[in-house]
Amino acid sequence: MKPNIADLRRDYTRDGLTESQAPDEPMSLFATWFQQAVDIESTEPNAMMLATVDGEGQPHLRTLLLKGVDPRGFIFFTNYQSDKGRQLAEQPRAAMTFWWHDLERQVRIEGQVERVSPDESDAYYHSRPVGSRLGAWASPQSQVIAGREVLEENLQSLQERYADNPPPRPEHWGGYRLVPELIEFWQGRSSRLHDRLCYRLENGLWSRIRLAP
């Protein structure tokens, strides 16, 4: 028997999020929540949904991996010629969402997006496994290809080309930083009366408000 989607539900039972538990600025709270997710989540706690918008106003959403956080923002890497890269070139704004199932928590982030420096992109690229480095060359991300064999042939050719030397970072591949203007922390609570604390950056200062669930 097929499940009734409308009947799929769970009650949230973990601790709440009160103003007394929240700092005046959001980055330290994110660091705490992220570390707790690393400690308890079973699979890729750095997975997040990234939303961009194209030139016609159509939103696009996909799952990526967060690869860094610093006081300036949240860092991820991709092909600059991919769909998301072209969309960010047209409209350098984005939103990302983290969902940590085991902790019954969500974090939403919105803001401007900028490319990280070439040195930052180089450092991360050369820290990757060699297969991933070659994959950045082998895949014309978001482009139509005739079949899987195109990727496999590209990879084989690259393996032969760089058999004795490490591959350089492709100029079309690198990092972005989402510079946050809004960060919302969502903690599941019983009876759907969830806690939502939202931080907004205004004139260089963070303000914090509570939103109804």
Q: From the candidates 192, 200, 208, 210, give the one annotated as an active-site residue.
A: 192
Is 72 assigned a ligand-binding role in the annotation?
no
Tell me the residue length of the chain.
213
What residue has token string 């496994």?
129
CB 13 within 8 A of CB 193: no
Note the pTM of the prediction, 2 decimals.
0.91
Q: Give the containing element (helix H, strand E) for 209.
A: strand 205-210
93 catalytic, yes or no?
no
Q: pLDDT (tens digit, 0 to 9) for every residue of the chain, 213 residues total? A: 677 877 777 778 788 999 998 999 999 999 999 999 999 987 899 999 999 999 999 999 999 999 999 999 999 999 999 999 999 999 999 999 999 999 999 999 999 999 999 999 999 999 999 989 998 988 888 888 889 988 888 888 888 888 889 999 999 999 999 999 999 999 999 998 999 999 999 999 999 999 999
Is 186 assigned a ligand-binding role in the annotation?
yes
In 10 A of CB 195, how many CB atoms? 21
CA distance 142 to 168: 22
Query: Which CATH code of 2.70.150.10, 3.30.1330.40, 3.50.50.60, 2.30.110.10 fits the domain covering 9-121+172-210?
Result: 2.30.110.10
Ordered by start, the domain boundaries in the chain are: 9-121+172-210, 127-168
Kindly give the interhelix angle for 148-161 and 130-138, rounded to the nearest 10 degrees: 120
Is 77 assigned a ligand-binding role in the annotation?
yes
Q: In the numeric block, which tokens belong to residue 105?
A: 């928590």
Cα 67 to chain centroid distance, Å, stands at 8
